[in-house]
Structure 1
Amino acid sequence: MTGRLIRRETRGDLPLLACLAVLVLVLAALCAWAPALAGRQEDRALRQRVQAAQAQGPLISVSTTFAVFSNAPESVGMGALLGAGRALTGHLGAPAARRLAPAGGTYDYSQASLSAPRPPDPAVTSTRLALSYLPAAQGHLRYVAGRPPADRTPPGAPPQIALSQATAQALGVRAGSRLDAGFAATPGLLDEPPHAAFLVSGVYLPAAADDFWTGRESLDQPFRAPEERSAGTVLSVRGLVGLDTADVLSRAGVRGPLVTWQFRPDLSGAALDEARDLTGPLSHFGADLNAALCQGYGVDETTGDVICRVGAQATDSLLVVDALTPLLSAFTAQDQQARALATFAVDALAAVVLATVVVAVRLLLMRRRAHLRLQRARGASTTRLVLVRCAVAWTVVPVAALSGWALGRALAPAGTSGSPQPLPAVAAAVVVAAVVPLMTWLAVREPRRSGRVRRLGRRAAGARRVVLELTVLLAAAAGVAALRAQGPDGILGAVPALVALAVVLLLLRLSPLVLRLLLRRARRGRGAVGFLGAARAAHDAPATGLALFVLVLTLGTAVFGGLVQQTITAGLSTGASWAAGADASATVTGPVAAPPAASGAGAGSDARAGTPTAPVRTAVQHLRTLSMVGRADGAVLTRVAVVTVDPAQLRAVAPKSALARELAAELGAPPGAGGALPAVLSPELRAAERTGGFTASVGVQGRPAVNLAFAPVGTLTPALLQDPLLGPVTAQIPAGTPVLIAGATADRLIPSQPADTTVLLLAGAGPGPASPAVLRSTAVRALGPLARVRVRAEELSALRADGLTRGLGTVYTAASALAALSGLLALALELALTAQERGRTTSFLRTLGLGGRESGALHFLQLLPPAVASAVGGTLLGLLEPRLLAGTLDLRQFTGGPAEPALRTDYPLILALVAAVTALVLAAAATETVLARRRRLGAVLRLA
C-alpha cells in the first residue's frame, strides 16, 4: 500500500519534483564545472604575467665565475659548458625539472683596459672595455656595417667583437679595426697582465626600444666619468663577442668570465599548480647545486676560491637568482582577492537557490495539504507522513545530483589548476534533501488544542520571532566585524547573505507601518481599490518574507557586482594614467640632455605615413638620490629622492593637473637668501625639518663638490603625491623614501651621476590625442632607442585584457544571471503559492460588483509593495556591502595606481534592475487578471 501511495503521489508532484531536480542538478554541475573554468582563467592570467616578465629578462638564472685554476685544462670548451644548463635543472628533481626550459647561456667579462686605438676625444685619458656574449641580442639589433662576431675564431686570428654605432664613434673605429686590451692578472698564475687583440667585425644599432635593453644600456651608449685624481675622463664601453672568445682568452691566461645560464618556466598546462610545484624546489636550488657540484673538490690554493665542477670545467660556487617566486607571490595575493570577491557572488547564488528550494517544497506541501490532513485524520503518524514525503523526494535528489556532477565533469575543461569540488556538491544535495523532512514535519506536526495554550503559543511565537530577529542582526554584525578584521573566506563569504536576511527582517518590520500610513490616506479617498490593495498587502506582508529575501539578495548581488565592475573599469583608467604619467612617458637610466621639444610644442610625424601630425608637448623630470643634512638640527638623511622639473613644461603637458599648478606656484620664485633653492617636500621630509631646510653636497670624481641649499616652500599632500604626473618617477623610487621636488634651477646646478634617471612626459598638443606611433617616435628621438616607452592607451588595453580582471567580471555576470533565473523561479513559485488567497479575495469582490479593470489594479497594488521593498532593499544592500567591507575590499590590485580606487555606483544597472522588477510585477498582475477574467461565475462563487 505504501509503495502504491508513493508512486501515486510522485506522479502528482512531478512538476515540483522536476523543479527540485533541476536545482540540485545545476548546483552539482556548477561544483564540478565552475572550479575548472576558474582555474583555466587563473592559468591564463598567470601565463600573461610570466610572459610579460620574461620579456624584460630571465625569471630564473644560475651564475658562476668561469675560473682559470692552476689545475685547469688548456681547452676550456665554452660551448659545452653553456650547453650544460639542462643538466643543472636535474638537481631540482624530475617533476620540477620538466617545468624549466633552458633559454640560453651567456657570459660577461669584467672591464679590461683598452690600450689602442686612442679615442679621438682628447679629454679621454683611459678607456675601459667590457665583453659580453649574448646570443639573444641578435634579434634586438641591426648591423649598419659588417656582420655579427663569429662563434668560431680561425686559428691564429684574433677573436671578433661587435660595437654599437655610438661606441664605434666614441672609439674612432669601424668594421675591420683592431682593439688591444689588457686584462687583470690572476695572482699566482701570471706575473704580467695578459693582453688580447680583437677584430671589430661589425657596427650595430638597436632595432627597437624594447624591454631587452633595460639594464643593458651600455651595449649601445658609452659612458663617460671623471678620472680619479686627474682632470681627464674615463670612457667605458661594452662590445658583443662570439662563443669561443672565452676559449681564446683563457688560453691567453685571462681569468674566466661570469657565466650565466638562463631558464624560463614552461607553464603550458595547469600553470598555477605547475608554478607552485616549481617554487618549492627553487627555494633550495642554489644550496642543492653547490652541495652536489662543489663537494670533494676543495679550495684552490692560489686564489682561495671554492672549486666546483660543471661538467668537466672548474668554476666558482653557483648563485641562483629566482624572480619567479616573487612574481607568484604577488599573483597569489591578487588571485586571493579575486577569489574572495567571487565568494560573495557564489554564496549569494547558493542562498538564492536554497530559498528557491524552500519555496518549491512549501508549494509542494500546500498542494498536498488536503491529502496530508486526510491521512492524519485516518491515523497516520507524523513520522509516517514525513517518511512518505521523503521517499518521494529522496528518489529524485541523488539522481539529479549524480546527473549534474556527470554533466559538469563532461563540460569542465581538462588540464587546469582548478579541480571539481565534490564536497560542496554533496553538501548541496544533503541540504536540499534535509529541507523536505524538516518542512514536512513543521506542516504535519500535532497542533495545540487548548485556547489558553494557543494564546500562550502566539505569545511564545512573538517572543521567538523577536529572539530570532535579534539573533540574525547580531550574527550579521559579528560577521561584518569578522570580515573587516580578517577578510573573506569560504565561510565568511556568506556574510552578505546574512546581511541580506537582516535587511529583509527590517523591511518586514517597517513595511506594515508604511502600509498602515497608506491605509489611513486610502480611507479618505473615494475609490475602494487603493484601500483594498493596501489592506491586502499589509495583511500578506509577513508571508512574503522568503520572496522578499530572494529578490533582495539577487538585486543586492547584482548591484554589488555592478559596483565592483564599474569601480574596476574606472580604476583601470587611473592605473594606466599612473603608469604612463601623461599620454606617454619614456624612462632611461643615466644623464641625458633635454630634448629639443621640451620647452614647448614640437610637431610630430607619423612614421608609417610620413605625414605631419598633431604636435607633442614634453616635460623632463630628472630623478637623483642624494644625502641631505638638516640646516637647523644637523640631522642626516642618507637617501632622499630629488626630482627636478621645469614647472612651465609640466603645466604645458598637463594644464589641468593640481600638481602642475602647485609646483608652478611654489617653484616659480627665485632662490632665496644664501642661494637657497625653493623645494616642495613630502610630508615625512617636511616633518624632519620644519624650518631650516636642507643642505646637500654632491660630489663627482675628479671635480669639486657642489654645495646646495633647499628652502621648503610647500608640502606634497597625499592627493598631490597620487597625481599621475609622478607615476613614472615614483616607480623608480623605493617605498618609504622621502621625496623633494625642485625646479629647473636646481637641475642645472646638480651635476649628473651614472645612477640618475630621466623621465620624459609626452602629451598631444592638438585637439585630439596623439597616436602611439607618434608618441613613441618622439620619445625615441628625445631619449634614444633604449628609452622604455609606456603609452597610456596601450597600458589601458593591457589592464583590460588581464585574465583575473576579466575572470572576476565573468564570475559576477554568470552568478548574477543564475541567481536572477533562480530568483524568478522562486518568485513564480511564491506567487503560485499565494495565488489562491489573492484569487479568493478578488472573486469575493467580483461578486460584490468589482469590475475587470479594478480587478487588475487590485492585483497590481497587492504585488507592488513587495516589489518596491525588494528594489529598495536590494539597492541598499548592494551599495552597503562595499562600505561594510572597507579595508578588505582591495580593488587596487586589479587597477594599479597609488591608492584604492573610489567606489563608483553603476546607476544604469540599478535603473535596469528596478525596471525589471516593475515589469515582473506588471506581468504577474496581468497574468492573474487574465486568469481571473477567464473564471466563470461558478468558479468565482466557489472561490468566494
Structure 2
Amino acid sequence: MSPSGAPRRVRAYGGHFLLLAVLTLVTALLITAVPRVADRLTGQGLREYVAAQPVARRDLTYTTEPTVLPRTASRIAATHAAELATVEARMPAAVGRTIGERWYSAQTAFGRLTGPTLDPGKGLIDVSLRSMTGLTEAATLVDGRWPAGGTGAGDALEVALADTVARALGIRAGSTFAWSVSDQDGKPVRQRTVALVGVFRPTDPQAGIWDALPQILRLAAPTEDGKPFLSVAYTSEAGLDAAATSGWPVSFAWRYRVAPDRVSAGQLTALVDGLAALERTRPAGLTLTQGVDIPLRRFAESLAAARTLLAVIAAGLLATLAGLILLAARLAARRRQGEYALLRARGGATAAVLGRGLAESLLVLPLAAGVGWLLGGLLPGDGAELRWVLLATLLATLVPPVTALTAGRGGGGRTDLVGGRSPAVRLTVEVSVLAVAGLGAFLLRRRGLNLDGSVDPLLVSVPVLLAVAAALVALRAYPWPLRLLSRAAARARGSVAFLGTARAGRAATTGPLVVVVLAVATAAFCGVVAAGIENGRDRAAADAVPGDVRVDGERFAPDTTDALAALPGVHAVTPLLVETGQRPYADRAGRFGGVGDTRVVLVDGARFAEVARSAGIPVTVPDPLRATGDGTAPLPALVSAALADEFTDAGLADPAGRRPAWLDVQGNRLPVRTAATVEEYPLVDRGVTRFVVLPWPALPADAPYPLAPTGFLLAGDRVDPAAVARVVGEGAQRYQQAGALTGGEQPRPPTVTTRSAVRAELGGSGVNGLLVFGFTIGAAGGGVLGLLALAFAVLAGARGRGQVLSRLRTMGLSRRQWRGLLLVELTPLVLVSVLTGAVVGALLPVLLTPVLGLPAFTGGVAVRARFEPGLVAGVLGLAVLALGFAVAVEALNNRRMRLGEVLRLGEES
C-alpha cells in the first residue's frame, strides 16, 4: 500500500499508462503547436497580402500646397529635405516601424517649354522641375551629365530628362529651351532659360522612387483636345532654389512606403490605430494621403474571423482529447477494480486511493506533457503560452486518481440495462447540459461575433455543448427502435439477429459515444464550413466576372464586339455599358428628380444569358432585361433596393411608366420604369448599393449619339487575356480616332479580368493558409480521434460480450454466426455515433454562420452551409471504416482474452 511501489505498478500496467501518456503528449503538442503554426501562417499571409496591394496604396504621402517663396530665400530644397526624418519621427511608433523606403521631392508648377529643337507637330509641352532624393543612385546616364549648379551658361536652369521622354520629344542633351508661364493674353508672366544637360535611364523602372505623380519616366498625354503634354524634368537642389526664387510656385512632398516584411500580425491592431491617428499627428500645413489602412482593416476582420474559427476547431479537438483521457483512465481503473476494492477492504481511505493514483500519474503524465511541449516548440512561430500546457497537464494528472475512487464502488449487477429508470443524478446532468447548450446557442445568436481579437469563450464552448447534448439525446432515443426490431427478429428464424439487436438495445456506453459524436462533429463541421467557403468564393468570382473574361474601360468602337467574337476559343460575347454618378431626372428636359448619384448598367439580356450559359454560371436573366425597345418608350429596369425607396418618394417608381425617370446615357435621354427590385446583380460590383440595370436599347435613327460599349463579357475555352487586351485596345483607339471623343478625361487603359484570376486571388492570399491548416487538423484529427473513441466504446462492453460469446460458442454457435452477431451488435453503435456526429457537424455551421464572420473569406458573399454530396460520401465511408475498425478491435480483444478461459474464469477476463 506504500506509494513507493508506484514504479512497479506503472510497469505492471504499462499499456494503460502508455495510452494515457500518448494522449497527454498529443494534448500538449496541440496546445503548443497550433498557436505557433497559426502565428507563422498569419505572418506569412499578412506579408503576402500587403505586398499584393498596389504600391500607391502602401504609400503615406505628406504634401504642401504650391507656394511662391520670397526671392531672398536660400537653401530651400535642402532645408525641406532635412524634414524627411522629422516628419517620420512624428508618426506613431507602430507606423514608424513599418516604414521601409522613403523619398523627398520638391516640384515647381508647370511651365510651357518652347525651343527651336522642339517639333511643333508634336503639340504643346508643359514641364515641371523636380528635385528629389535618390534619383542619381537609381538611374544611369545615357547622354550628358547630371545637373550640378543652379544655373549654367547664360543663366539657364540645368535639367535632365528620362530617355523615354527625350526620345518622344526628339531632343538630346545640350539643347536649350525657353520655360515660361503666360497670362490669358499670351504674354509671359515668368520666363527662364532651361538647358538639357543630361538624359538618364532608370536602373529598375519598377522601383518605388519612380511612382511619384506626375511620373518622371513618361510623357503624359493631353487630358483634353488642345491641352499640352505634361512632363517632369529632374534638377538639382540649387536649380530648384533658382526656379523658386524666380517666382515659380513650389510644392514639397515626403513619401513613405510601408514594407511588407516589417508588418507583423501581433502589431496589426496597433498599426491600424496608428494609421487612424496619423491625420491628428500630421504637422500643420501638410496634407496626408494614404490608403493602406483600408486593406489592413479588411485583413484584421478576416484574421479575427479565422482565429475564431480555428478556436472552435481546436476546442472540439481538445474536448475530444479530454474525453479520451477520461475514457482511458476509466478503462484502466475498471481493469484494476479488484485491486482498489481490496485496498478499501483493508482499511484504505479516500486519501490513500488518491495518493496511490497520484503517485502513478506523476511518474508518467507530466513527462509526456513536457515532451509534447518540447516537440511543439520545435515548430517556427510564436504565440504558444506555457500556462495552458501546465493547466492541461495538471488536469490530465488528476484524472486517473479521481477515476480510481469510483473503481471499487458499486455492485456486481448488470450495467448494460438502460431500459430501467435512470438515476436522478444522471437525468439532472443530462437536462442541465441540454438547457445550457440551448441557452448558449440562443445568447450567441443574439450577441453576434466578438471581433476584438481575443478568444470568445461563449463561441468556443457552444459547439462542444451542442455536440454533447445531441449525443445524450441520441443515446436516449436509439435503443427504442432497436427494441422494436428485436421483437420482430424474435419471430424470425435464427438467433443471430434477435440476440444482436437485443444486446445492442441494452448497450450503455454513454461516455465513449459522447466522445465519438464530438470528434465526428468536429470533422464534419470543418468539411461543411470549408465547402461553404469554397462555394462562396466561386459565387464571388462569378459575380465579379459572370463569364470567363471581363473587360472594363471607357468607350470602344462598336465593331469591337465582332473582333472579340473572332478570337480563338471565344464562344459568346456581350457588350456592357456602365455609367457612374448619374442623377435620374424627373422629365426629358433634365429637371432634378430628387434621386442621388446612381450607377447605370446597360446589357443585352439575351447575349448575356448566352455568355453565362456558355461559361457554366447559373445566372438568372429576368424578363425585363430580355425586353427590346428603342428608347422612346420607358425601358424596364432592375432597381436596387436602396434606390427603390428614393424612386418611390420622388414619384418615379410607377411600374406602368406613366411617370418615368429619365437617365442621361452618353448624351441620350432614356425613360425608365421600375420593373423589379433586386438586392444585388452579378454585373454590378459588390458594395455598390445604388444601381439601375437596363436592357440595351436599339436607339432610333435620330438619336443624338450612338451608344458605345464601355466593357465586354466573354465566354470561351482557353481565351488568351493578352489577345483580348490587344483587341480592346485597338477598339478604344478606333473610337478615339473616329472623333467621338471631343473632350473630357483621357480614357484609362482597358482592364482585362478573368474569372479564374479572381477566384485564385480569393483563395490564394490573406488568411487562406490559416484556414487550410485549421480545416486540415480539424478534419483529420476529428476522424482519427473518433476512431480511437470508437475503440474505447467497443472495449467498454468487451467483457460482457466475451462472456456471452463464450457461452454461445459452447452451445453450438458457429464462427460465422459469431461474426454476424458481432456485426449486428456493433452496427447500431457505430451508425448512431457517426451519423449523429455528422448531423451535428452539418447543423453547427447553419447555426453559427451568422456569428462566425465567414463572408470575410469570400469577398463579402454570404456563406451557405450545405452538406455536399462529397461530404455525404465521406461520412458514409467513415461509417464503413469505423464499423470495420470496431469489428477488428473486438475480434482482436476476444482473441487476446481467449473466450474459453473467460467461460472458465467467470467474471474475470
1:774 Cα shift? Answer: 2.6
Structure 2 counterpart of 1:869: 832
* Equivalent in 714, 721, 732 of residue 763 of structure 1: 714
Distance 1:147 1:514 in 2: 94
What secondary structure sits across from 1:253 in the alignment?
Answer: coil
Structure 2 counterpart of 1:250: 244
Distance 1:824 1:698 in 2: 65
Distance 2:235 2:628 in 1: 56
**Contact 2:341-2:407 at 8 Å conserved across structures:** no
Structure 2 counterpart of 1:301: none
Distance 1:504 1:490 in 2: 22
Structure 2 counterpart of 1:686: 644
**Contact 1:562-1:906 at 8 Å conserved across structures:** no
The two structures have a TM-score, normalised by structure 1, of 0.79
1:5-84 aligned within 5 A: 5-65=5-65, 67-70=67-70, 73-77=73-77, 81-82=80-81, 84=83
Structure 2 counterpart of 1:342: 310
Distance 2:714 2:783 in 1: 46
**Contact 1:128-1:235 at 8 Å conserved across structures:** no
Moved more, 903-912 or 381-390: 903-912
1:373-392 C-alpha deviation (Å, 9 max, x unpaired): 11122222233222222222
1:337 Cα shift? Answer: 0.8
Q: Is 1:743 aligned with 2:696?
A: yes
1:353 Cα shift? Answer: 0.3
* Equivalent in 499, 520, 523 of residue 555 of structure 1: 520
Q: Is 1:628 aligned with 2:588?
A: no
1:904-931 C-alpha deviation (Å, 9 max, x unpaired): 4343344234323323323432454466
Moved more, 400-409 or 591-600: 591-600
Q: CA, structure 1 residues 356+248, in 2 after alignment: closer, same or farther (shift >3 Å)?
A: same
1:69 Cα shift? Answer: 3.0
Q: CA, structure 1 residues 377+651, in 2 after alignment: closer, same or farther (shift >3 Å)?
A: closer
**Contact 2:179-2:193 at 8 Å conserved across structures:** yes
* Equivalent in 498, 509, 515 of residue 482 of structure 2: 515
What secondary structure sits across from 1:222 in the alignment?
Answer: coil
Distance 1:165 1:741 in 2: 44
1:443 Cα shift? Answer: 3.3
Moved more, 280-289 or 48-57: 280-289
Moved more, 523-532 or 775-784: 775-784
Structure 2 counterpart of 1:261: 254
What secondary structure sits across from 1:582 in the alignment?
Answer: coil
The residue type paired with residue 265 of structure 2 is L
1:890 Cα shift? Answer: 3.3
Structure 1 counterpart of 2:101: 102
1:287-686 aligned within 5 A: 287-290=280-283, 317-409=285-377, 411-414=378-381, 418-444=382-408, 462-485=423-446, 486-487=448-449, 489-540=456-507, 543-588=508-553, 591-594=554-557, 596-599=559-562, 601-604=564-567, 617=573, 619-630=575-586, 635-645=593-603, 650=608, 653-654=611-612, 661-662=621-622, 665-666=625-626, 668-672=628-632, 679-686=637-644
**Contact 1:599-1:618 at 8 Å conserved across structures:** no
Moved more, 617-626 or 39-48: 617-626
**Contact 1:625-1:641 at 8 Å conserved across structures:** yes
The residue type paired with residue 845 of structure 2 is P
Q: CA, structure 1 residues 127+71, in 2 after alignment: closer, same or farther (shift >3 Å)?
A: closer
1:20 Cα shift? Answer: 1.7
* Equivalent in 223, 233, 239 of residue 231 of structure 2: 239
The two structures have a TM-score, normalised by structure 2, of 0.82
What secondary structure sits across from 1:92 in the alignment?
Answer: coil
The residue type paired with residue 462 of structure 1 is P
* Equivalent in 722, 735, 742 of residue 773 of structure 1: 722
What secondary structure sits across from 1:420 in the alignment?
Answer: coil
**Contact 2:605-2:626 at 8 Å conserved across structures:** no
Moved more, 328-337 or 25-34: 25-34
1:872-887 aligned within 5 A: 872-887=835-850
**Contact 2:152-2:158 at 8 Å conserved across structures:** no
Distance 2:846 2:558 in 1: 47
Gaps of at least 5 residues in structure 2 are: 451-455, 734-747
1:361-384 C-alpha deviation (Å, 9 max, x unpaired): 111111110111111222222332
**Contact 1:129-1:236 at 8 Å conserved across structures:** no
1:230-289 C-alpha deviation (Å, 9 max, x unpaired): xxx5525421321436445314210102x3222222343672124444444444445545
Moved more, 850-859 or 400-409: 400-409
Q: CA, structure 1 residues 645+270, in 2 after alignment: closer, same or farther (shift >3 Å)?
A: closer
What secondary structure sits across from 2:249 in the alignment?
Answer: coil
Distance 1:662 1:598 in 2: 23
Q: CA, structure 1 residues 653+938, in 2 after alignment: closer, same or farther (shift >3 Å)?
A: closer
1:160-171 aligned within 5 A: none
**Contact 1:104-1:263 at 8 Å conserved across structures:** yes
The residue type paired with residue 231 of structure 2 is G
Q: CA, structure 1 residues 430+929, in 2 after alignment: closer, same or farther (shift >3 Å)?
A: closer
What secondary structure sits across from 1:268 in the alignment?
Answer: helix
What secondary structure sits across from 2:631 in the alignment?
Answer: coil
What secondary structure sits across from 1:810 in the alignment?
Answer: helix
Distance 2:472 2:549 in 1: 53
1:460 Cα shift? Answer: 8.9
1:866 Cα shift? Answer: 0.7
**Contact 1:568-1:901 at 8 Å conserved across structures:** yes
Distance 1:517 1:142 in 2: 91
**Contact 1:622-1:757 at 8 Å conserved across structures:** no
1:276-303 C-alpha deviation (Å, 9 max, x unpaired): 444444444455452xxx6xxxxxxxxx
**Contact 1:551-1:870 at 8 Å conserved across structures:** yes
Distance 2:145 2:671 in 1: 51
Distance 1:430 1:931 in 2: 32
* Equivalent in 717, 721, 740 of residue 678 of structure 2: 717
**Contact 2:22-2:368 at 8 Å conserved across structures:** yes
Moved more, 328-337 or 14-23: 14-23
1:631 Cα shift? Answer: 5.0
Q: CA, structure 1 residues 465+914, in 2 after alignment: closer, same or farther (shift >3 Å)?
A: same
Distance 2:585 2:794 in 1: 77
**How many percent identity over aligned positions?**
23
Moved more, 838-847 or 909-918: 909-918
Moved more, 80-89 or 489-498: 80-89
Distance 1:715 1:369 in 2: 74
Distance 2:37 2:100 in 1: 27
Distance 2:754 2:668 in 1: 38
Structure 2 counterpart of 1:271: 264
Q: CA, structure 1 residues 136+921, in 2 after alignment: closer, same or farther (shift >3 Å)?
A: farther
**Contact 2:794-2:890 at 8 Å conserved across structures:** no
Distance 2:577 2:411 in 1: 83
Structure 2 counterpart of 1:313: none
Distance 1:751 1:131 in 2: 42
Distance 2:249 2:838 in 1: 73
What secondary structure sits across from 2:64 in the alignment?
Answer: strand
When the two chains are superposed, the root-mean-square deviation of aligned CA atoms in Å is 4.5
What secondary structure sits across from 2:599 in the alignment?
Answer: strand
1:104-119 aligned within 5 A: 104-106=103-105, 109-110=108-109, 112=111
**Contact 1:600-1:649 at 8 Å conserved across structures:** no
**Contact 1:680-1:714 at 8 Å conserved across structures:** yes
The residue type paired with residue 27 of structure 2 is L
